[in-house]
């Protein structure tokens, strides 16, 4: 075997092996300390790309679950307020039935009216003051879109702003908790009162008007019963036949109030048997409308709950896929660490011996 002084090939080989084992050892230390197989693009460039996409999906799914839970909370808040509204409407209906009883005096109905007024005021307050995170839920303006997926346009939406219009035969309307109901823009009925025909017409589906057209043929004027409808703004316009004798002109306008459909529930009246009977029918429709909206909110809660279950299942599977790509296998890395440590120790020992070989050449010099 040749001996060289200037070039120690054995030492160079041992150094290279020591460097390789040290590099393997460093990689094992990094993977075991981080728990990740891919710590940089140098470890696995393609795997890093896949891992990043899966990470985006997992993070999106996590947030989507939170978003869906927020949607459930909103629906529960609104539905709870409507539950109390239903209770108050039921109480108002009971009071209306009580007021419609012929045994009540005007004083009795006035006392019932006080509670009716208080309840309707509270319904309006609930509609205006029910909020979630600063957003009003029951004022007819809420429109929520919930991102329930990891990608764009994966949404569920519901709103409390589109109520169903319902006709209440000249009784005005109400807007409460995203539910609107207006009298229709058409003549509701024609009633013969002496020589007068009364037409109660809703214009633009907002306010009802009354017009009395009279052909006067005598010297007496009879005012029609305008207060028979307690839910309209009534205006009378009288046209007199120029060929007929002059008669006293009726009032240019009269008004009674059930509430502006654009402003809220208003104040229903049970101060007479006729008004109380009308209120029973109106409240039945209102209870039905509120119940319908509560059913929608219940369906939304169940839908969001199903979405959460599905999102959780997808999240579990995607997380497992990402783990297989990105995470370190501790059993494998521990074995590599042990092997690298042994090789490093062996390389160090061999390097020490290789560095002694040039000394053999010096012994030949005597």
Which residues lie below 8 Å from residue 262, measured CB to CB, with a gap of 6+? Answer: 175, 206
pLDDT value at residue 361: 74
- pLDDT tens-digit map of 342-360: 999 998 998 888 888 878 7
- Helices of type H across the chain: 9-34, 45-99, 106-129, 273-326, 330-354, 357-363
Higher pLDDT, 100 or 160: 100
Higher pLDDT, 88 or 8: 88
8-state DSSP, 265: S
For tokens 């120690």, the residue is 8
- pLDDT tens-digit map of 216-249: 344 443 443 433 333 434 444 444 444 444 444 4
For tokens 């009977």, the residue is 277
pLDDT value at residue 52: 96
Q: What Rg do the C-alpha atoms of the chain give, in angstroms?
A: 42
Which domains, and CATH codes, for the chain? 49-180+267-318 (1.20.1330.10), 183-260 (no CATH)
Higher pLDDT, 197 or 58: 58
Residue 79 near residue 298 (C-beta atoms within 8 A):
yes
What is the dihedral sign for C-alpha 345, 346, 350, 353?
A: positive
pLDDT value at residue 364: 76
8-state DSSP, 247: -
- pTM check: above 0.85: no
- The gap between the terminal CA atoms of the chain, to the nearest Å, is 19
Which residues lie below 8 Å from residue 279, measured CB to CB, with a gap of 6+? Answer: 92, 93, 96, 99, 116, 268, 269, 270
Collapsed DSSP state (helix, strand, coil) of residue 218: coil
Res. 140 pLDDT band, cuts 50 70 90 = confident
Q: Which residues pair with 155 in a beta bridge?
A: 147
Buried residues in 83-95 as b, exposed as e (16+ CB within 10 A): eebbebbeebbeb
What distance in Å separates the CA atoms of residue 274 and residue 286, rounded to the nearest whole number? 19
pLDDT value at residue 64: 97
pLDDT at 157 over 80: yes
Q: What is the mean pLDDT of residues 278-301?
A: 95
pLDDT value at residue 161: 66
pLDDT value at residue 242: 45
Q: What is the mean pLDDT of residues 83-107?
A: 95
Q: What is the mean pLDDT of residues 34-61?
A: 95
Collapsed DSSP state (helix, strand, coil) of residue 153: coil
């Amino acid at each position: 075997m040749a001996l060289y002084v200037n070039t120690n090939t054995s030492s160079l080989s041992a150094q290279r092996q020591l460097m390789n084992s040290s590099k393997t050892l460093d990689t094992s230390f990094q993977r075991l300390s981080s728990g990740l197989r891919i710590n940089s693009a140098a470890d696995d460039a393609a795997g890093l790309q896949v891992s990043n996409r899966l990470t985006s999906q997992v993070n999106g799914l996590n947030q989507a679950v939170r978003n869906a839970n927020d949607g459930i909370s909103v629906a529960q808040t609104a539905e709870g307020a409507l539950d109390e509204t239903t209770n108050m409407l039921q109480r108002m209906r009971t009071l209306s039935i009580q007021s419609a009883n012929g045994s009540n005096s005007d004083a009795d109905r006035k006392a019932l009216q006080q509670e009716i007024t208080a309840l309707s005021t509270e319904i309006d307050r609930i509609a205006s003051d029910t909020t979630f995170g600063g957003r009003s839920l029951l004022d007819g303006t809420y429109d929520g879109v919930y991102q329930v997926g990891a990608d764009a346009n994966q949404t569920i939406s519901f709103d409390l702003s589109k109520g169903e219009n319902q006709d209440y035969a000249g009784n005005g309307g109400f807007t409460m908790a995203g539910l609107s109901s207006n009298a229709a823009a058409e003549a509701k009925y024609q009633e013969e009162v002496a020589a007068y025909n009364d037409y109660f017409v809703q214009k633009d589906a907002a306010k009802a008007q009354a017009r009395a057209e009279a052909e006067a043929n005598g010297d007496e004027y009879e005012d029609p019963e305008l207060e028979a409808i307690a839910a309209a703004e009534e205006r009378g316009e009288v046209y007199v036949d120029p060929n007929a004798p002059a008669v006293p002109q009726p009032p240019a306008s009269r008004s009674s109030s059930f509430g502006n459909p654009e402003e809220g529930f208003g104040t229903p009246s049970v101060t007479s048997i006729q008004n109380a009977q009308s209120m029973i029918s109106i409240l039945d429709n209102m209870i039905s409308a509120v119940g319908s909206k509560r059913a929608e909110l219940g369906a939304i809660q169940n839908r969001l709950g199903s979405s959460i279950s599905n999102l959780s299942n997808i999240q579990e599977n995607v997380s497992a896929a990402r783990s297989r790509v990105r995470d370190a296998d501790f059993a494998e890395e521990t074995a590599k660490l042990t092997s690298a440590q042994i090789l490093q120790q062996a390389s160090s020992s061999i390097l020490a011996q290789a560095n002694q070989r040039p000394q053999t050449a010096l012994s030949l010099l005597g």
